[in-house]
Amino acid sequence: MTERLIRTVIVDDEELARTVVREHCSQYPDLDVVAECSNGFEAVKVLGESLPDLVFLDIQMPKLNGFEVLELTERVPAVIFVTAYDQFALKAFEVHAVDYLLKPFSKERFASALQRVRARLHGPASRGVRTLLEDIRQNRAPLERILIKEGPNVRVIPVENVDYIQAQDDYAAIHTGGKFYLKQQRIAEFEKVLEASRFVRIHRSYILNIDRLARIEAYAKNSRMAILKDGTRLPVSRSGYEKLKKMW
């Protein structure tokens, strides 16, 4: 019986690092390297199109890092992080049972990581990765930019450009410059990671960039409206008003 090939992608911005991983992979007949990516944007596209079983993923890349690549990937394959990262991340990898190779690594360490990931290839490979990403996100707050996947493309929105965020069920509408973009993430998650001195939850459905606030107006009995500098009107809850009074 022919052994099933493990479709593999290598992602690293350094050509030498990709070469090292590729050479290690060549020692294993069941590893089929179907693509190599030199940056995060390319990786998001390739992972979405090729649907690999396994990805060797560098973390420290310009433009999009490895964590952001996975955030934008709908179907997360088994992952072996290839990293020179700090001790917090290494501890997080171990807690969430995610495999990693710390640069520079030996052939024995490569074999060990591959053996562990093989054992989990037929299980829920993405569970540990998803919980890892949430852990990393919360411990790396405040958020500096919001990533939104638009088909094969990725839009990067610096948080200082965000006017407000609006809850839409399991999605959030990111409003910026008169336009909005949908991201599949609950507004409560944004509230945890946005800078508290700049963004305030003014209502169960709205987070406001306080730099955009022009004034607050009474609307009806015990209700108020936040009037933004561009004229947008957003409802303000009682608790939201108390927060605004302390900040503005």
State the Cα–Cα distance between residues 163 and 159, nearest whole angstrom: 9
According to the model, what pLDDT value does residue 1 have? 44
pLDDT of residue 74: 86
Nearest to 160 by CA among 141, 146, 172: 146
Tens-digit pLDDT profile for residues 64-120: 999 899 989 988 888 998 988 766 567 767 776 678 888 889 999 999 999 988 887
Architecture category of domain 148-247 in CATH: Beta Barrel (2.40)
Q: Give the architecture (CATH level 2) of 6-139.
A: 3-Layer(aba) Sandwich (3.40)
DSSP character string of 180-245: EEEESS-HHHHHHHS-TTTEEEEETTEEEEGGGEEEEEEEETTEEEEEETTS-EEEE-HHHHHHHH
Q: Which residues lie below 8 Å from residue 188, measured CB to CB, with a gap of 6+? A: none
DSSP code at position 159: G
pLDDT for the residue numbered 124: 56
Domain boundaries, given as residue ranges, for the chain: 6-139, 148-247
User: With contact defined as beta carbons under 8 Å apart, do 168 and 180 qualify?
Assistant: no
Task: Give the pairing of strands 213-220 and 223-228.
Answer: antiparallel
Owner of token pair 């997360």 = 76
Task: Measure the CA–CA gap between 152 and 145, rounded to whole angstroms.
Answer: 19
| Integer Cα distance of 98 and 94 in angstroms | 6
Could you list the pLDDT tens digit for every one of the 248 residues in the chain? 456 899 999 999 999 999 999 999 999 999 999 999 999 999 999 999 999 999 999 988 988 999 899 989 988 888 998 988 766 567 767 776 678 888 889 999 999 999 988 887 765 555 677 777 777 777 666 889 999 998 878 999 999 999 999 999 899 999 999 999 999 999 999 999 999 999 999 999 999 999 999 999 998 777 899 999 999 999 999 999 999 988 87
Phi then psi for residue 169, to 5 deg, are 60, -120
